[in-house]
Amino acid sequence: MALIDRLRAVRATLRPGEAGPVASEGVVSAPALRAARPAPPDGASNYVILVLDSCRFDTWVRARPRVMERLGPLEKRYTYATWTAPSHYNLLIGLLPHSSPTHVYASEYYKDDFLKFKERFRIPDLSFGRMVPTLWLPTYLQSLGYRTNMLVSMPVLNPATPINSGFDRYQLMDRHNDVTAMIRAMRWYVDRPNFFVLNTGETHYPYATPDEPENEWPRISGVNGVFKHLDDHVRAGGLVHTSEAPRFFDDTRMKQLHARQVEAVRWVDRAVEELFDTAPANTWITITADHGELFGEKGYFGHGPIQHAKVTEVPFVEGRLR
């Protein structure tokens, strides 16, 4: 089954209202929230985290996305995990990709990193002591009066997974690679600050933009879908060695795929202009990736069970537009 069929199969089982903990429109009514939630702190900021799935740092540098870089200076950061699910879990406990600092205890770095949320949320007395014991940013934000939203593209983050906790709205998008549809599906409420986590997949294999016909997408046997054809990769009790699959790691092909990811970043950059135009004043935006990607280096392709610097190097920009 090809990737797109796989995605459709997962989505078909998770239509909002048919299965999983998603309401029919995925939006909690305003009266219900008012009754259950305190008034937010004065001046509290909207906050959006946009995750370009699999976008590695040097891809961003090659793409030179001028719109997204309006947020602030580009930083090279490193993800705590090498694939989608654990990386998003990390984001949601408040650990964004790190700067790999030297000569500092991890506990000190975490503390300093958390303090930056005071600026992002414009809440001077934000207390991460109150995240104990759940260590879960969405529920903490709800307790502060926020509306919490997560719109995702990757089926491994679908609404039936435990990641969907503490969200007023959680939705798997119809297409894995259409950030414009995602931006247009955002609902900005004016009575409370909004928290959004957006996961978009143009930069994920096969690095396809929504205007590209599916029959023109590159096809690499065996990499369509995380849990697909697992048996195909295992022979006689071991993983198939790359030397047995020379076409799979053809250098020219890898360069073409990397170039596709560069073009995907440029596509997202143009699309993000609409987010910047429609986001209300007092919105902080962080744009980063959940992990990088390998394009043939040392015999690796993709991400996940890979120990290589390029699978943790990601771009990071953030700031407040107005």
Residue partners of 144: CB distance under 8 A and separation at least 6: 38, 40, 41, 44, 123
Rounded Cα distance, 157 and 261, in Å: 21
Interacting residue ranges for Zn ion, rule: CB under 5 A? 53, 84, 290
Q: How far is the CB of 31 from Zn ion (least distance, A)?
A: 37
- The closest residue (CB) to Zn ion is 84
Between 92 and 131, CB nearer to Zn ion: 92
Q: How far is the CB of 260 from Zn ion (least distance, A)?
A: 16
Q: How far is the CB of 29 from Zn ion (least distance, A)?
A: 32
Q: How far is the CB of 273 from Zn ion (least distance, A)?
A: 24
Between 90 and 139, CB nearer to Zn ion: 90
65 within 8 A of 268, measured Cβ to Cβ: yes
Cα radius of gyration (the chain): 20
Between 154 and 317, CB nearer to Zn ion: 154
Between 54 and 142, CB nearer to Zn ion: 54
Task: Give the Cβ contact number of residue 32 at 10 Å.
Answer: 10
Rounded Cα distance, 245 and 270, in Å: 37
Rounded Cα distance, 321 and 72, in Å: 9
Q: How far is the CB of 204 from Zn ion (least distance, A)?
A: 6
DSSP assignment of 121-154: HT-TT--GGGGTTT--HHHHHHHTT-EEEEEE--
Between 131 and 157, CB nearer to Zn ion: 157
